[in-house]
Structure 1
């Protein structure tokens, strides 16, 4: 499965820019959807299911962990890859995130091509998995 769309959920406009730039350098054909917090992401997910969700932890309105709770309860079908991308270096945050069976990865900012390759491998994307 190829990565066709990625939802980035982060309240920082600079981090959103870096994610979009890195994704388009990795593959200009990937559609990037953006949400500034977990609540915006949940609303967007009612209309579409991206291949990948990249989620920050610390955001106003609804943080990443609150999003994961609602996402688990409200959606029967989850994106194939849900990755946390955060500035948190705390082992407890990593453990808490990976406690959700649909969270596949935990990366520290900034997003890198290596992070995207790892997500592509999880999707079984031979084009990007090498």
Structure 2
């Protein structure tokens, strides 16, 4: 992975994501957005390898982002992963209905989550 966009309104969660990504691979460029609207604006100028998206955010939440992203962009990031504190099966099912959403993780981001994303990108073999 060359670049990952993290979309989360919580500065602590952003810090944890950035820290975990840099520990996983210091060469990955980390892009940040505090809500779905900021993320859409950023994505109009770049396509990262992956988007890590929270659900509950002000201005535009994760599900609203997914709807706009689906309608506006013909090309999607190879991996879109939900990273949320929601334990609701309905949220997981709703997120995974989008064909470009490849994973659903519960916070915090872990190196194993990043390994799964790397496997999805075909960058690393999955270790079982």
TM-score higher than 0.5: yes
1: CA distance, partners of 2:24 / 2:111: 6
User: After TM superposition, what 4+ stretches of structure 1 lie above 2 angstroms from structure 2?
Assistant: none
Gaps of 5+ in 1: none
TM-score where L is the length of structure 2: 0.97
Shift of 1:73: 0.2
What SS does the aligned partner of 2:64 have?
helix
The equivalent of 1:85 in structure 2 is 83
1:94 equivalenced with 2:77 (yes/no): no
The equivalent of 2:37 in structure 1 is 39
1: CA distance, partners of 2:44 / 2:67: 16
Superposition map of 1:104-115 within 5 A: 104-115=102-113
RMSD: 0.9
Aligned residues: 127
What SS does the aligned partner of 2:26 have?
coil
The equivalent of 1:6 in structure 2 is 4
1: CA distance, partners of 2:9 / 2:29: 19
Deviation string, structure 1 residues 89-127 (Cα, Å, up to 9, x no partner): 00000000000010000000000000000000000003x
2: CA distance, partners of 1:47 / 1:24: 23
2: CA distance, partners of 1:97 / 1:123: 19
Gaps of 5+ in 2: none
Shift of 1:5: 0.1
TM-score where L is the length of structure 1: 0.96
